[in-house]
Amino acid sequence: MKSLYVIKIGGNVIDNSENLYNFLKDFTALDGHKILIHGGGKIATQMSEQLGIEAKLIDGRRITDIETLRVVTMVYAGLINKNIVAQLQRFGTNAIGLTGADGNFIKATKRPVKTIDYGYVGDLDSQSVNAENISKLLEAGFTPAFCALTHDGDGQMLNTNADTIASAIAIALANYYDTTLIYCFEKKGVLKDINDEESLIREINPVRYDELKKEQIIHSGMLPKLDNAFAAISCGVKAVVIGKSDELGKLGNNQPFGTRLSN
């Protein structure tokens, strides 16, 4: 089975042109098939402010009303996505920039209104990703670069969490490839001490994860990330790696990179 890297980057890469340049150079150097997923960073919020559209957040989550959806569609699928694609072409990666609507690759369901109306936000399920069509792109020599937008099949674009998209793509393509899911963020990986970059935990399996939770070494914001990672592994993803974006080059040089989660 051929290998595949599914790599998600966040605002710490997107918002800094030097970080983005270095990351995309390292991304290009990785052998084999790869897919990039990116969010929107601070640019969508800045653009909203310039247009006089107030950003609405509840518990840190963006409420996507119709005006906000127009902005994130312009920024994620346009400005950020095409800049990334142009940079990747510069380095020799034949990238193709996509939303979930393109090629019907990712179809979501609008989040139902419960206590909070999140607006035009998409939720994914096990049938959301068209793995066969994405595989055709990969086999044709293209490197997909997905932004954090999906569609509902009825003509409506939906803002969708980039971490969730990355996980759904990795799980769907695990039937076709030896898939490793990589989350790049601002820390070296999972740390025993959040303030000490040298306290990196290199490997975590389910038993070790339970121990780290009991010892309160892993808690709060890191829990949902790791819960989702182990859920992806239980669905066929070979491994999930959490690491610092500017150290991705280590992976290409067969050096230890980040925290590796596996069974």
Binding residues for substrate: 40-41, 62, 159
Binding site feature residues? 40-41, 62, 159
Which residues does 9 contact at the CB level (< 8 Å), separation at least 6?
Answer: 23, 36, 37, 38, 39, 184, 245
Give CA–CA dist 44/76, Å, rounded.
8
Beta-bridged to residue 243, according to DSSP, are 184
Identify the three-state secondary structure at position 135: helix
Give CA–CA dist 106/125, Å, rounded.
10
Q: List for the chain the helix, strand, coil content (%; round to 5).
A: 40, 25, 35
Q: How far is CA 85 from each of CA 82, 90, 142, 158, 260, rounded to the nearest angstrom?
A: 5, 9, 11, 21, 28
